[in-house]
Amino acid sequence: MTQHTGVRRAVPDDVVELVRLRASLFETLGGDFFDPSPQDGRWRGAFTEVLGERLTADDTRVLVVDGEEGLAACGIGTVDQWFPGPHSRNGRIGHVIGVVTDPAYRRRGHSRAIMRDLLDWFRERDVVRVDLYASPAGEPLYRELGFSDHPDPALCWRP
């Protein structure tokens, strides 16, 4: 994988900062999907636990950029094994989860560098497609990197 300047893999000592950055992402999102409010902090403990388990897993890549105090940016990629089909020769689907830059470090190319490393990592794993959900602020970057509208409507079910 090509390591872009300033991007590194996250380590266990980064977990507190990763939780902080993920929380800042949810503060900027809205709508019914994020009800209950992200201010309900119960998700943080669950995120910390799962992150600790997945930080070094082969199917997960957590990348960060250091700031002067704490992390400037982070991004998470995962690879799922789905069933192969005509549209997915090997069934490997990548997901980009929560690329976020601290407001004090925005417009410096950190998200772009993280995304380039994640895309390299996905290529190394021979994924056939990478999915993500883009915020309005992030959408231009993802489109510039080659992402396009998914042909299927995004639906979800919440039990």
The tens-digit pLDDT sequence of the chain (159 residues) is: 556 679 999 999 999 999 999 988 877 665 555 555 555 677 889 999 999 999 999 999 999 999 999 999 999 999 999 999 998 999 999 999 989 999 999 999 999 999 999 999 999 999 999 999 888 888 999 999 999 998 888 887 778
* Secondary structure of 94-135 in HEC code, one letter for each residue: EEEEEEEECHHHCCCCHHHHHHHHHHHHHHHCCCCEEEECCC
State the pLDDT at residue 37. 54
- Residue 111: which CATH number? 3.40.630.30
In a domain, 149, yes or no: no
In total, how many domains does the chain have? 1
DSSP code of residue 31: S
State the pLDDT at residue 72. 96
In a domain, 118, yes or no: yes
In a domain, 88, yes or no: yes
pTM above 0.85, yes or no: yes
In a domain, 152, yes or no: no
In a domain, 127, yes or no: yes
In a domain, 31, yes or no: yes
Q: How far apart are CA 125 and CA 118, in angstroms?
A: 11
